[in-house]
Structure 1
Amino acid sequence: MICSTRKVAIIGTGFVGASAGYSIVNQNIVDELVLIDVNRERAYGEVMDLQHCVDFTTSRTKVRLGSYEDCKNMDIIIVTAGGPPKPGQTRLDTLEISAKIAKSIVHEVMKTGFSGIFLVASNPVDIITYLIWKESGLPRNQVLGTGTSLDSSRLKSILSEHIDVDPRSIQGYTMGEHGDSQFVAWSHLTIGGKPFMQILEEHKEKYSGIDLDEITDQVRKAGFEILNRKGTTYYGIGNAIAYITRSIFNDDYKIIAVSTVLDGEYGMKDVCMGVPAIITRSGVKEVVELRLTEDEMEKFRHSEQILKEHMAIIGL
């Protein structure tokens, strides 16, 4: 998928789609950004608003209103359309409505002859990513979801408050479902290259107040803490979408915790879950298989079970 112009379409211009568009425009990631939504007036309003950013950015991104016909020539299609959870619901509670929306989107897109990359943010993202992969017929490397990329960022942010270092100096991942069954791979978390578990062992008194289960719970619940206060989350995921998009176009070979189709990795098949993966111009170049502890693998398998039970509800 080699081209001289970087073209992206965002399908769904609610808070998440608009925030992703804003991040993409401000970071000058693409040459052309097309917004598509069943509510064309809303989408056109977002187009106008984003167009008015151009004088304050370092280079011009052409932003325009589009339709499914425009998808044929896109390099990446970002899917954010779906049913957001209401207070008291989990991401999985939105599955049936989000699945119907995703099916209609992918059928319309593939009719155009699209052969690029799907980047999925619609929740429940792991199942919707798998559904779009199945319905599109594209190779598995060309369909990926935002997965636990945002959860991993939340982990670093929360942990930095305890360790007093820049979150970007923390390397580690949450894995599994982007939802309640996610887990932190503590055995592979490092700070400045030093294993975090070793730091805790060497400084027991200094870090005696750190509760790993409590931090995991904070990460898991962070999205709903935001939802309960302001109605939904969009800045973090918008930036995550932009980050992954830039890594694809730049052929970065950056390792990001995305949702990708597993085909034997970690002993799992026919499921999408958040795992560290190498991201290139072709999408997912390779899944990075960490040597997890027995306890972590048990949590991983539990996450797989939860997802497959819900996949069965919509016939996957």
Structure 2
Amino acid sequence: MALIRKIGIVGQGHVGAHVANRLLETGIPDELYLCDINERKLAAEVQDLTDTLSFYPHNCAIVGVGDEYEKLAGCDVIVNAAGDVLSSAKSRDGELFVTTDIARTFVHRITDAGFQGIWVSIANPCDVIATEIWRLSGYDPKRIIGSGTALDSARLRNVISQHTGIDQHSINAYMLGEHGFSEFAAFSAVTFGGKSLDALTAEQPERFGFDRADANDHAVHNGYIAMEGKHCTEYSVASAACRIVQAVVSNEHYVTACSTLLTGEYGHSGLFASIPCVIGANGVEQTLPFALTDEEQKAFDASCAHIAGNIERLGDWWRSESRVK
């Protein structure tokens, strides 16, 4: 009997709906369970996606379950896209209290219903919410993946591609730390076919000697070009989430930057932040930290301090309600 792939999505706003569509376009799920507290919006999305089934690679059962979160317990992967995009208009920290409050309404219910799959969280602030899911559920942190800087790393590769003319698929480059304004590009580890950016800059400065600070700034802030124009980002983050889901359900052992619980990497523990990870059926199967320059280490320290500061803003509830032992 063929394996039935079951994917759940919590939240059917701009991003959640695009995640659903992108998953169906890539043919990943056999059953797709959609949650949202707005019944009319949920019904509309289910209808629109169902009407599109003839154009997707294969059939899929699309089920709207409202706020009956327990029905997601049998899913292989749950994508958390619940939030309020307008609250993040100026900063991803803007959703801090909104998204944590929302997470508290469903994480324990799904956990108590027996969920044993993988969490992929894209709600912002991404690293805090991934940490929150861990605290609320007491779940194996390796089975909780924050999309983190997977998208920002793609933005960095895009910027480098524009400067150098090298196809972005052929560039290895990562943004590290927070999915937010404190993240940074680890230029010391950027490579093209195994050759470092530093080496190529020395050989061909006119092509590879671009302004790195400017490139870093674009990778950090380019999402807000979309925000200013249409009050959301949707295609890119949905594609990043879908790529992680695909790596899980196909057990790919895919390497990407994403948010995972730090357990000593770069001197930090106890919170989620983005470093290169190997993604497979068990979630984050391995972390792949590489050597940072002194300047990059300071940037990573500052980014983790920002994430920790946001966690502290949540107050005593955070500690009192934790299931983590």
Which category of TM-score, normalised to the shorter sequence, fits these structures? over 0.9
SS at match of 1:251: coil
**Which amino acid letter does the alignment assign opposite residue 314 of structure 2?**
I
- Would you say 1:254 and 2:268 are equivalent positions? no
Deviation at 1:49, TM superposition (A): 1.1
Q: What do the CA deviations read for 1:241-298 (whole angstroms, capped 9, x no partner)? A: 1100000011000111111111112211011111110001010101111111111111
Is it true that 1:152 corresponds to 2:153 in the alignment? Answer: yes
Give 1:302 shift.
0.4
Which ranges of structure 1 fall in alignment gaps of 5 or more residues? none
Q: Please name the residue that 1:172 is paired with.
A: 173
Cα offset for 1:200? 1.0
Aligned residue identity for 2:113: T
Match of 1:264 in 2: 264
Q: CA deviation at 1:118?
A: 1.0
| Equivalent residue, structure 1, for 2:199 | 198
Stretches of structure 2 lacking an aligned partner (at least 5 in a row)? 319-325
CA distance in 1, matches of 2:175, 2:268: 17
1:4 aligned onto 2:3: yes
Distance 1:214 1:262 in 2: 29
**Structure 1 residues 88 and 106: alpha-carbon distance in aligned structure 2, compared to 1, 3 A threshold:** closer
Q: Which moved more, 1:161-170 or 1:198-207?
A: 198-207
In structure 1, distance between residues paired with 2:117 and 2:261 = 16
TM-score (norm 2): 0.93
Shift of 1:85: 4.5
How high is the sequence identity, in percent, across the aligned residues?
31
Are the aligned partners of 1:87 and 1:228 in contact in 2 as well (CA < 8 Å)? no
Give 4+ residue runs of structure 1 displaced > 6 Å after superposition. none
Q: What is the DSSP-based 3-state SS (H/G/I as helix, E as strand, rest coil) of the residue aligned with 2:255?
A: strand
Deviation at 1:87, TM superposition (A): 7.2
Residue identity in the other structure for 1:230: K
| Matching of residues 79-90 of structure 1 within 5 Å | 79-86=80-87, 89-90=90-91
Provide the C-alpha distance between the structure 1 equivalents of 2:138 and 2:46, rounded to a whole number of angstroms: 31
CA distance 1:137–1:87, change in 2 (3 Å) = closer
Q: Distance in 2 between matches of 1:34 and 1:211?
A: 45
CA contact (8 A) 2:164 2:207 kept: no
Look up the match of 2:275.
275
Partner in structure 2 of residue 43 of structure 1: 42
8 Å Cα contact 2:108-2:136 kept in structure 1: yes
Structure 1 vs Structure 2 CA RMSD: 1.4
Please tell me whether residue 72 in structure 1 is matched to residue 57 in structure 2.
no
Aligned counterparts of 1:167 and 1:52: Cα–Cα separation in 2:
34
Contact 1:6–1:30, Cα closer than 8 Å, also in 2: yes
CA contact (8 A) 1:146 1:259 kept: yes
Question: Aligned residue for 1:213?
Answer: 213
CA separation in 1, counterparts of 2:138 and 2:43? Answer: 31
Give, in whole Å, the separation in 2 of the partners of 1:233 and 1:151: 12
Q: Which residue of 2 aligns with 1:226?
A: 226
Residue 52 of structure 1 pairs with residue 51 of structure 2: yes
Contact preservation (8 Å) 1:84, 1:91: no
Tell me: CA distance 1:87–1:173, structure 2 relative to 1, closer, same or farther (3 Å).
Answer: closer
Normalization by structure 1: what TM-score? 0.96
Distance 1:136 1:87 in 2: 25
The count of corresponding residues between Structure 1 and Structure 2 is: 313
Paired with 1:157 and 1:246, the residues of 2 have a C-alpha distance of 22
Take 1:206 and 1:184, find their aligned partners in 2: how far apart are those partners?
19
Q: How does 1:275-314 map to 2 (within 5 A)?
A: 275-314=275-314
Alpha carbons of 1:262 and 1:6: their partners in 2 closer, same or farther (altered >3 Å)? same
The equivalent residue for 1:104 is 105
Structure 1 distance, partners of 2:70, 2:208, is: 56
- Report the Cα distance in structure 1 between the residues aligned to 2:51 and 2:85, rounded to whole angstroms: 28
User: Contact (CA 8 Å) 1:83, 1:123: kept in 2 or not?
Assistant: no
Deviation for aligned residue 1:201: 1.2
- Comparing 232-241 with 43-52, greater Cα deviation is found at 43-52
